[in-house]
Amino acid sequence: MKALDWHPLILAMLCILTGCGQKTQDNTEEDIREIPVTELVSSNTELHRSYVADINAFRNVQILARVSGYLEKVNVDEGKEVRKGQILFEINDEQYASALATAKANHKMAIAEAKAAEVEMKRVQLLVDRNVVASSELDVAMAQLAAKKAKIDEARSLEERAALNYSYTKIRAPFDGVVDRIPYKIGSIISEGTSLTSISDISSVFAYFNVSEIEYLEYVKARNANGVQDHGIVELGLVDGTFFSQKGKIETMESEFDEGTGSIAFRARFANPEKLLKHGSSGTIRLTNTVENVILIPQKSVFEIQDKNFVYILNPDNSITTRNFVPQARYSNYYLVKSGLNAGEKIVSEGVQNLRDGATIKPKMILADSLGIIPNGSSQLTAQR
């Protein structure tokens, strides 16, 4: 009787246990989440690196006063274009004109005295030939003539110096350019060496920017390998976010690396026909390098452990395995793979924070082009600095 009483209860418990077991199995299947996965592809990629640049005029010089005096005329205005040889400033020239006149008179007098000494020397020569006077008299006359000729040279030098000082009272533009600020006005007392303004030739400009030693080596190796004329073409980003209309070309670089920063300065030249760029302005140089058959992976598919980079590789049975890879560089939201990953492999493209090695997932395939990676095409990426 007791056995019969317990039989239904045992059956009920078995049913409950069986049902619980089935529910646990169903929950396990439900726990397998759908995770985005993408297949690695190789592509041709334009890599952009950006550098802060200082912009200098092709020529920029200070205009200094070469003589002292008061400023008599200012013939230009600030910010105006001038031509080579144009008179910019005039310093009062009265004392210099007087000094020049005196120097010219002294020069003429020295010439006249030398002619008189030459006549005297010829007269003594005649007397010596007739044995009227001793030959020593001729030596004296010749010495006096030489002294007079030396005075001619001295007077000529003083006249040239006076003429030069006189010419310095009119200050001319050394080349075509644009005038900067003019701090002194008419009537100001000017000393020798006073800076009156500066002139910039901005028909073209130089952009100086610093690159690291690694980037320098990449550039030189690419230039030597390609050997094409358009290598070294760069773009200039302006402070308003736009790009300058003219493209520039890297012309040269410094001969030494800076010990403090480990970088070396490059110089690019830009034509500036509209005079938009000014001396002392700033911008951003964008250097483009095209690499072929490289693998790009999204930044959100990567996680770091002890300064090493990892992704999850999808296995044929939909399990995932941790894989270490070595990035060559980081561009925008992508890593450029140097080693450790191959085209055709599938990786988890996002949501890696909540996964673990060996877990099973339900892959949701995401095409590479929807991630901005163009298979067999040309992607454009900008390096993060």
DSSP 103-154: HHHHHHHHHHHHHHHHHHHHHHHHHHHTTSS-HHHHHHHHHHHHHHHHHHHH
- pLDDT value at position 99? 96
- In tens, the pLDDT along 235-284 reads 999 999 999 999 999 999 998 999 899 999 999 999 999 999 999 999 99
Q: Residue 379's pLDDT is what?
A: 53
pLDDT at residue 354 in the model: 84
Contact status, residue 281 vs residue 55, Cβ threshold 8 Å: yes
Phi, psi of 254 (to 5 degrees): -70, 165
- For residue 72, give both structure tokens: 């008599």
| pTM metric for this prediction | 0.68
189-190/170-172 β-pairing: unpaired
Of residues 253, 251, 240, the one with CA closest to residue 284? 240
Q: 56 to each of 25, 199, 278, how far by Cα in Å? A: 73, 12, 7
Residue 353: the pLDDT is 85
- Radius of gyration from C-alpha coordinates of the chain: 43
Length of the chain: 385
* Structure confidence at residue 333 (pLDDT): 80
**Residues of the chain falling short of pLDDT 50:** 1-6, 9-12, 14-27, 30, 229, 377, 384
| Per-residue pLDDT at 11 | 42
